Structure 1
Amino acid sequence: MNDIVIANVVRPERVLAGSWIDVIASNLDYHRATFLWKCEGLTDAQLRQRSIPSSELSLLGLMRHLQGVERYWLHLRLTGTPPQFFPYRTYKTADGDEWFDESDPTPASEVYADYLTACQTSRDLLPQGTTNLDRIEPNPEYGDTDIRFILEHVIEEYARHTGHADLLRESLDGTTGE
């Protein structure tokens, strides 16, 4: 039985010249695929492994977080579409934030499917949310932002967490990448 959760990730070519939204959308897809590339070939147990001492961070936890990023920023903030969050187990941090509980028993294959669904919904909603890039969107964390900020922030989330994923993957099995 093959217990690999994610196999054969192919990163798309990025649009290097074109409309601003085409370049941003292609970069977002590239970063999504790069994150999944860091998870490629691993089992459920490996994706759950917390390989950094005193950390609750795992590749699976990052995947749960990134589906939340997709749903909060691109579904809710970009288009006003109420997100359909998967009911993952969470806990409150010392500063009152909510974070995914690493003991959540949801199989990694279901988390992966949920992540892919969140990404596809974001792709489908993108044209609707980017008709007016100057539109101001109130946000409780940052204050008023325009649509460009929202899109750039999602790429920032991917860049940051793909860096975390790179370190986690290397600590699991020595695999490194760019």
Structure 2
Amino acid sequence: MSGIVVETIVRPERRISGPWLEVIASNLDYHRAAFLWKCEGLSDEQLRQRPLQSSALTLLGLMRHLQGVERAWFQRALAGTAPDFFPYRTYLTPAGDEWFDESDPTPARGVYEDYLKACEESRQVFGKVTEDLARIVPNEEYGDTDVRFILEHVIEEYSRHLGHADLLREAIDGATGE
């Protein structure tokens, strides 16, 4: 078995027109695949690297975070269920935010499989939680929002962290891409 955690990723085509929910769903899948593309071909050790001196970010830490984004927004906020978060080791930042501790011993392959599972769980509830886009969802962070805002926020999370992933990947092995 190779030491590569994320094998070849084929990014799906995005819908750029058509029904809004189909465009959103395809863009979510595109961003999910784009993140994994940034992790493609790397080992456990490489995914754990902190290549930027000014940051503790790692690709594996971002993967842990994005599984949490999927479960928190799709399952907890939109579906109103209690997601089954994997018990990754965390710590509190100086700002009081919870972040994933890179000393967590979970193998990168396990984190990757958990991330894939979280994305699939989101796809499974997508149709039901988006039946009423104007439905108001209580939100401690932003105040009450509608479903559209939450969907856009998940895309915003991916967009922000894809930028981080670009920098991390280039610093790890020089690989660049769109």
**TM-score over 0.5 for the alignment?**
yes
Greater displacement, 165-174 / 93-102:
93-102
Residue 102 of structure 1 aligns to which amino acid in structure 2? E
Residue 158 of structure 1 aligns to which amino acid in structure 2? Y
Shift of 1:86: 0.2
Task: Please show how residues 82-97 of structure 1 align to structure 2 within 5 Å.
Answer: 82-97=82-97
Shift of 1:16: 1.8
Match of 1:107 in 2: 107
Cα distance in 1, alignment partners of residues 127 and 32 from structure 2: 18
- Report the secondary structure of 2:65's partner residue: helix
Match of 2:152 in 1: 152
Cα distance in 1, alignment partners of residues 163 and 94 from structure 2: 25
Cα distance in 2, alignment partners of residues 41 and 138 from structure 1: 40
Cα distance in 1, alignment partners of residues 16 and 51 from structure 2: 36
TM-score, length basis structure 2: 0.98
TM-score, length basis structure 1: 0.98
Question: Unmatched 5+ residue regions in structure 1?
Answer: none
Shift of 1:85: 0.2
Q: Spell out structure 1 runs of 4+ moving beyond 3 A.
A: none
Shift of 1:55: 1.7
Q: CA RMSD in A?
A: 0.7
- Report the secondary structure of 2:91's partner residue: strand
Tell me the number of residue pairs that the alignment of Structure 1 and Structure 2 aligns.
178
Residue 28 of structure 2 aligns to which amino acid in structure 1? L
Greater displacement, 16-25 / 40-49:
16-25
Match of 2:4 in 1: 4
Residue 50 of structure 1 aligns to which amino acid in structure 2? R
Match of 2:16 in 1: 16
Question: Unmatched 5+ residue regions in structure 2?
Answer: none
Shift of 1:95: 2.1
Any idea what the Cα deviations from partners look like across 1:12-71, whole Å, max 9, x if unmatched?
A: 011122211000000000000000000000000000000000321000000000000000
Residue 115 of structure 1 aligns to which amino acid in structure 2? Y
Residue 177 of structure 1 aligns to which amino acid in structure 2? G
